[in-house]
Structure 1
């Protein structure tokens, strides 16, 4: 027997879960397929993957009812300092000059995942299949037939709209026959936490060099998230370093603005590639989050961009008689294009320009950073884009009066 649902979301990660919550809040008939069962009892760890959430993202999570479960774990970013090693220019973005209390927030990814699970538990109409595996996807004139295996065995669902929120290696994208543009940066990202000698006190740092960017993000208990990029051919050597050698290496790359870095937590390494779908919609189907675009982690735009995908899609389908209507999906894609293309161009261009080994560019880069710091129109645009307000944002992320 075939079961029916209006909207089927494949992928229960941060973006897929957020979309499912938004659809449920709108009273839409939706089903969420999660490959792994929630882990609610996982104990906190000394070193964890951390997220930088733009202000627009905080606003969206607040509208979804998620922020109330996450706020206690969040640390505000009130200033951002951007510089390049060996050059005189720098830029400082400041929440006070933007007229807000914070430009963004940082928090452990596990804590946001836990907050999303708490909110999912409160959904009244959402159907969740977890843990579940998608065995096949088949299109028909009215939607998609999806064969799923879970603890109860195999079942077939028919959805009028199929949403791929299933990550960089998206099965949904493959079923749609959508090609990708892929760029291997030949870099590896190392992330861990450290304790700086001088607390960051709400200031985040982004520092560029010929070897790639390095960032330091404020966290709770005067800890900091260290994000360091190295060339791929150096990754194995860096990974083999003991903690003392690694901190010395990071110190050399970052500098001494916050004193000595100490007490490194566990390191995690991630190869860096950009994977961009050439289309984000197909017949009665749409891609969101990393399934649509996986961007360079510089500027920490991945989840922020994906949440705006999810909230815009929910806004588009809320009053639609047919959520899979071709014109509706085309309108969604057109609305997302300025934000999506702008973020991808920014992250790619910033890496190419700020980390390019060309000394003749140094004065221009320094002047560019100084312009961003002292020219109000440019500074305001940088701050607005950095806070996640680009193109036509979904209504859920817009500022509202206290």
Structure 2
């Protein structure tokens, strides 16, 4: 492989994003709309979607719906999204349940359910309209040049022509849980394996979705039913890691019987399921969100337990907060340095509370719901009772479900979120 001979001969971008998945692509759209010079490094070829855009079901909070609408993405969905009008939470073996209803809180819905593949196609349709966006694909990140004074970041990638250098005022790591950019920056990561595997599929039930999203907790992980817009549910079924191979080997009838036994009959009999995918569940938290002329967003910054469907929603708020800060700086000064240290520190400050609260919520709920200790059963049942009847606690849960935690970016508040 050959490299471009001189760093100052390399293309220079205001922002270079490594990773074209859910969060990276959304960030590229937001920055392009703000008039910044953006480069996007994507592992997938132009005629292929990233692997993350599969048959998984994404639960978008209200804040996320607002943000993606402002980016011009949601109106490019080819398939209808499913509205979440109520959220039903219970635990196998415990008494009580919590029911959150959007209508009781002045909303028609808490959010929407979108199939990841449909979302990927909508993002691609929006990206393809942005002629000024420079897309490097298929390409992969291979390393960083040493920083020299106040100059831009030097980044090395490999594409079909070999190794090349790019430069950026600020580098954004949106390359997922195992982020190579994060490692190259020397940012450590705290990791916890929950010992669970999630099976994801499409589910047809005796009673079609009525706008209710179900979260059935259990000692092996959650079983969630998400109301899709095509008359099916999106199913997420957690199992103990040691049983994952056995569950994967079940035929459809055996798998449906297992899920029915764990979930119950609230949605009627389970009739059929689509192809199944399996994903191990672990939490990864970067020890810093920033480095000199570099920022982490999405799963590169934090990968959380999917219980409560917080992951992408949190990552999008990362992206839109960063886009807001960069757009504001550029509007105030056309020559503003996107990699200014004070600006990146402001990003880390603004993301602190939302990130900390969301991680604590998902991790705490995952741990306490999976704990089989008999002494916790009455405490969990009391918690369900309180969450169902105490107005202040319901309001807190509703705000969290809709994505309003901490300092929320402006694009996520397209309507009054109070």
User: TM-score scaled by structure 1?
Assistant: 0.96
- 1:42-53 to structure 2, matched below 5 A, reads 48-53=55-60
Q: Does 1:91 align with 2:106?
A: no
Q: Which residue of 2 aligns with 1:101?
A: 108
Q: Which residue of 1 aligns with 2:238?
A: 229
Change (3 A) 1:296 1:143: same
Q: Does 1:19 align with 2:27?
A: yes
Change (3 A) 1:288 1:3: same
Q: Which runs of 5+ in 1 are unaligned?
A: none
Alpha-carbon distance in structure 2 between the residues aligned to 1:335 and 1:346: 18
Larger CA deviation: 251-260 vs 145-154: 145-154
Instruction: Determine helix, strand or coil for the equivalent of 2:153.
Output: strand
Offset from partner CA, 1:262-289 (integer Å, 9 cap, x none):
1111111111110110101001100000
Instruction: Determine helix, strand or coil for the equivalent of 2:349.
Output: helix
Q: Which residue of 2 aligns with 1:178?
A: 187
Q: Which residue of 2 aligns with 1:65?
A: 72
Q: CA deviation at 1:157?
A: 1.1
Q: CA deviation at 1:40?
A: 6.6
Larger CA deviation: 356-365 vs 109-118: 356-365
Q: Which residue of 2 aligns with 1:360?
A: 375
Q: Does 1:201 align with 2:210?
A: yes
Offset from partner CA, 1:45-104 (integer Å, 9 cap, x none):
9x9211111111100000111111127431101011001112221101111012111101
Q: CA deviation at 1:319?
A: 3.1
Q: CA deviation at 1:258?
A: 1.4
Q: Which residue of 1 aligns with 2:345?
A: 330
Q: CA deviation at 1:125?
A: 2.4
Q: Which runs of 5+ in 2 are unaligned?
A: 1-8, 330-335
Change (3 A) 1:202 1:193: same
Change (3 A) 1:266 1:350: same
Q: Which residue of 1 aligns with 2:247?
A: 238
Q: Does 1:263 align with 2:278?
A: no
Q: Does 1:2 align with 2:10?
A: yes
Q: Which residue of 1 aligns with 2:37?
A: 29
Q: CA deviation at 1:139?
A: 3.4
Among 352, 357, 367, the residue aligned to 1:342: 357
Instruction: Determine helix, strand or coil for the equivalent of 1:379.
Output: helix
Q: Does 1:131 align with 2:146?
A: no
Larger CA deviation: 156-165 vs 216-225: 216-225
Alpha-carbon distance in structure 2 between the residues aligned to 1:127 and 1:232: 41
The answer to whether the 8 A contact 2:80-2:230 is kept is no
Instruction: Determine helix, strand or coil for the equivalent of 2:99.
Output: strand
Q: CA deviation at 1:134?
A: 2.2
Q: Which residue of 2 aligns with 1:395?
A: 410
Alpha-carbon distance in structure 1 between the residues aligned to 2:341 and 2:388: 44
Instruction: Determine helix, strand or coil for the equivalent of 2:376.
Output: helix
Larger CA deviation: 174-183 vs 353-362: 353-362
- C-alpha RMSD of matched pairs (Å): 1.7
Offset from partner CA, 1:126-163 (integer Å, 9 cap, x none):
21111112232123132211122323444311111000
Which of structure 1's runs of 4+ aligned residues deviate more than 6 A?
A: none
Offset from partner CA, 1:18-55 (integer Å, 9 cap, x none):
0000000000111111111244799xx9x921111111
Q: CA deviation at 1:193?
A: 1.2
Q: Which residue of 2 aligns with 1:56?
A: 63
The answer to whether the 8 A contact 1:31-1:127 is kept is yes
Change (3 A) 1:126 1:272: same
Instruction: Determine helix, strand or coil for the equivalent of 2:225.
Output: strand
What is the number of residues matched between the two proteins? 398
The answer to whether the 8 A contact 1:188-1:232 is kept is yes
Offset from partner CA, 1:101-125 (integer Å, 9 cap, x none):
1101111101111111111111142
Q: CA deviation at 1:221?
A: 3.1
Alpha-carbon distance in structure 2 between the residues aligned to 1:86 and 1:174: 42
The answer to whether the 8 A contact 2:67-2:414 is kept is no
Q: Does 1:120 align with 2:135?
A: no
Change (3 A) 1:368 1:69: same
Offset from partner CA, 1:218-238 (integer Å, 9 cap, x none):
113321111111111111111
Larger CA deviation: 120-129 vs 199-208: 120-129
